[in-house]
Amino acid sequence: MFSKIFLYLVLLIQLFQHHVDSSSIMTIKPTELIFDDTTARGVGISTPAESPMTVSGLSSTLSSSAVITVQIWFTHTYNADCTIRLYHPDGTYITLSERRGSSYDNVFDGTIFSDSASNYVATYSFTKDGVVSTLRPENPFTTFRGKAANGVWKVWVVDHAGGDTGYLNRVKLTISGII
């Protein structure tokens, strides 16, 4: 009897611990998944930077009340040159930002993209260098509701013009209400 309880406790502890893969951490809670990738990647002209996040072990699809947010730490010297997307494991994607940010530097260096944000990235009036904290993406995250949660999700960033540089330094994907 004691050995069964011990094994059960070990299993519960394992479920709530961080799972480490390189410089990525995935945390699974009963109703929330958080994936934090801290690998810095250069963003090149027509050579996208990709932050892959492998989700496994979940038995359900994204519910009709699932909430997805993405926080990125993306530095770039001319943000309007870049496209930022979130890809679902089935290959479909939503655009977080399509060549937004005007000529300003580093406006997405810590930005949270959320469907509930009051500022919409497509109409936001970027006025200076520096981070815009929370923005609604070009396409809603609700697009992914009803789809499988397992598989490789990825944030994808590409620079469409030369003469400047950028780095995707960190990505944090949070999915709530999946289980």
Residues 9-60 pLDDT 10s: 333 333 333 333 457 776 666 678 899 999 999 998 878 999 999 988 777 7
Short-list 99, 76, 85, 87, CA closest to 169? 76
Q: What pLDDT sits at residue 58?
A: 78
DSSP sequence for 128-159: SSS---EEB-SS-GGGGTTSB--EEEEEEEEE
Share of the chain above pLDDT 90, in %: 59
Amino acid at 173: L
Token representation of residue 94: 């939503």
Residue with tokens 């995707």, as numbered in its chain: 168
Q: What pLDDT sits at residue 20?
A: 38
Amino acid at 65: S
Give the span between the Cα atoms of 31 and 66, in whole angstroms: 9
Residues 153-179 pLDDT 10s: 999 999 998 888 899 999 999 998 865
Instruction: Give the predicted TM-score (pTM) of the model.
Output: 0.83
